[in-house]
Every structure is written in C-alpha cells, then in structure tokens.
Amino acid sequence: IPFLRILITHLNYNHLPKSIFKEKGTIVVLFQNPKDTAVSIFHFHNNGTQSVPSYSSRDEFFSGFMKDLWGSCFDPAVTWNKHIEDKNTMVIIYEDLKGNLTASVKQIAAFFVFSPTAEQVQVTEGRHTFQPVSVKAQEPHGAVGLILFHKGVFGVWKNVFAEAQNQKLATKFTVCLEVAKLGVKFKYDVYCKA
C-alpha cells in the first residue's frame, strides 16, 4: 500500500508480524516506569469490566502481579532491550514524554524524517496530551475506552504500594533491567524512588 499507515498495539516484539521487519516498518515503543505500570494494571483490573478479574485488595493484586499471573510487565522491556539499537526502532519513556513534550515531538518527528514547523509541533502537542486522547478513546474502543486511561501522571505508585511492595518491585527491576540499556533509559533513580 503506497501510503503511510500507523498501527498501535500492545503486542510484544516476538508477537509482531514478521512482515513489519521484512518491510522495514518503523517502530516507536513507549514504556512507562514499572511501578506506575503496575498501578495502571491494578486500576484496569478493578474497573468493573467483567472480562478481566478484579481484586479485593491491592495486596491481593500485588501478589498476583509479582507472580506474573498476567505475564510480567518486565518481559516486554527485556525483549525490546535486545532491539533498542535497531535502526528502525525508537524507544521512548512516558515520563520523558510528559516531562518535555515539545522535545519528544521533535525527536519522534526526526526519527520519521519529518521536519515539522513550530506551529505543527504546537498543534500536535495540543491534540495528543492526556486529556484529549483519553476523551477520544471512547470512539474506537467504546466503553472500554473510558477505562484505558487512568490519570495520565507519573509517580502515582507512591500513593498505592506499601514500602515492602516498592522494595520488591525495585529488586525485580534490578534483576531484570538495571544493567540493560533500556533499564538506564527508565531513569529508575529519578522516577521510581520515593
């Protein structure tokens, strides 16, 4: 197909169609720090949707989360870490995106070999912040669109998990990602320490 197509997915690297790599697709991968990812998963499970199980407490959820009952949130990061230097792949960290949206928009545009004007960058920023995207999510996803977005801020984990739980997540991060290139991009000391 001769025109640009954009596909959005939660699929991990190993589950993407191989044609993406054969056809030289360009891939932007977005990660959120692991602690806030856990909070997002907790809220998604406890949103009242019957298609996913809910949990009576944060402790019950955390126990399942640490046992990787739904797959580990660290697995995609470990897998993508192997491809972080692939020419057709760009990894972005949500906290960096939120922290400097203008720089992030320009960085993504440069990756796609676009040269947006200052006005185009400003329009993109206005349309793609948390509020307009979360409101628009109901169009393609129906009622589920309302629960795909929680707060759009980072650091929420500080108000959710107990100190012992935070320490267990920190230990798992150290085991899985501390020395990985992607682990460094997470800026764990900045975004995941109380």
CB 62 within 8 A of CB 165: yes
Q: Let me know if residue 154 belongs to a domain.
A: yes
12-42 pLDDT tens trace: 888 888 888 777 788 999 888 888 888 888 8
- What is the pLDDT, as a whole number, of residue 117? 92
Q: Does residue 161 form part of some domain?
A: yes
What angle do helix axes 34-45 and 163-177 make, rounded to 10 degrees? 120
Is 45 catalytic? The answer is no
Cβ-based neighbour number of residue 162 at 10 Å: 11
The answer as to whether 176 is a domain residue is yes
Q: Considering 10, 45, 141, 150, which one is annotated as catalytic?
A: 10
pLDDT at 44: 75
DSSP state of 13: G
- Count of the separate structural domains present in the chain: 1
Query: What integer pLDDT is reported at residue 90 of this predicted model?
Result: 92
What DSSP string runs through 86-114?
-TTEEEEEHHHHHH-HHHHHHHHHHHTT-
Is 182 among the domain residues? yes
What CATH number is attached to the domain comprising 39?
Answer: 3.40.50.300
Residue 132 lies in a domain: yes
pLDDT in tens, 68-89: 766 677 888 888 889 889 888 9
Q: What is the pLDDT of residues 129-185, one digit of tens each?
A: 666 666 666 676 666 666 666 666 677 788 888 889 888 888 888 888 877 888 888
Residue 71, domain extent:
25-192
pLDDT tier at 11, thresholds 50, 70, 90: confident
Residue 172 lies in a domain: yes
Percent over 70 (pLDDT), the chain = 79
